Amino acid sequence: MIDEILSHLPYKSSFRFVDHITELREDGVIGDYTLKPDSFFYEDHFVGNPVTPGVIITEIMAQIGLVVLGIYLIVKENNFRFDPDDPTLPLFTSTDISFHKMVLPGEKVTVVSEKQYFRFGKLKCYVEMRDSAGDIVAKGMFSGIVKKMDIKNG
């Protein structure tokens, strides 16, 4: 099931920040991503001293901790089947994050998400990102909604 969920993530390769899902259950998800040193956002952030932008850290946390879990819950709850002509996707709507450490190019980060609730199409999760030493990089609450999307026309 994990491979099916990952194949339906709504991101192209340059903006997909999920390498592996190591645990996926109704109340949470654990996954990881290794930041590619040649990623587009390092070119100018910061010249000569690349650091992962906070918005990318947020996006990694949202993709693993909210979108992957949201797709899983939709599939499980509704016996949902993916229809490329009528996609239903979990969308990131709000966050409250605190940042604790920098993430450098080439680092592997692990995201751990614990579901707070999933009801009426809204998912709320507590999400942490840790570096390879196990230290917290960022943590916070993420929320999203389940919405039908017309991806072809935006």
What is the token pair recorded at 92? 């990131």
Instruction: Give me the pLDDT at residue 80, please.
Output: 61
**Can you tell me the distance from the alpha carbon of 22 to that of 53, in angstroms, rounded to the nearest whole number?**
25
- 142 DSSP assignment: E
Query: Is it true that domain 2-148 has CATH number 3.10.129.10?
Result: yes
pLDDT tens per residue, range 95-133: 899 999 999 999 999 999 999 999 988 999 999 999 999
Give the pLDDT score at 85: 61
Q: Could you tell me the two tokens for 137?
A: 């990089």
Reported as a single tens digit per residue, the pLDDT across 40-94 is 999 999 989 999 999 999 999 999 999 999 888 887 876 666 665 656 666 778 8
Q: For the chain, give every domain's residue range.
A: 2-148
Distances in Å between the Cα of 60 and the Cα atoms of 14, 18, 37 are: 12, 7, 15
How do residues 3-39 score in pLDDT, each as one tens digit?
Answer: 888 887 878 888 999 999 999 999 999 999 999 999 9
Q: Of 148, 146, 126, which Cα lies nearest the Cα of 70?
A: 146
Structure tokens at 145: 């909604």
pLDDT of residue 88: 62
- Helix (H) or strand (E) holding 23, with range, is strand 20-25
Gyration radius from the chain CA atoms: 15
At 154 the pLDDT is 46
pLDDT range class, residue 137, cuts 50, 70, 90: very high
Q: Of the listed 8, 20, 45, 100, which one is catalytic?
A: 45
Q: What is the DSSP string of 68-103?
A: IHHHHHHHHHHT----TTS-EEEEEEEEEEEE-S--
pLDDT for res 4: 81
Residue 45 is among the residues annotated as catalytic for this protein: yes
Q: Which two tokens stand for residue 4?
A: 């099916």
Task: Identify the pLDDT of residue 56.
Answer: 97
Residue 114: per-residue pLDDT = 98
Could you give phi then psi for residue 45, rounded to 5 degrees? -130, 85
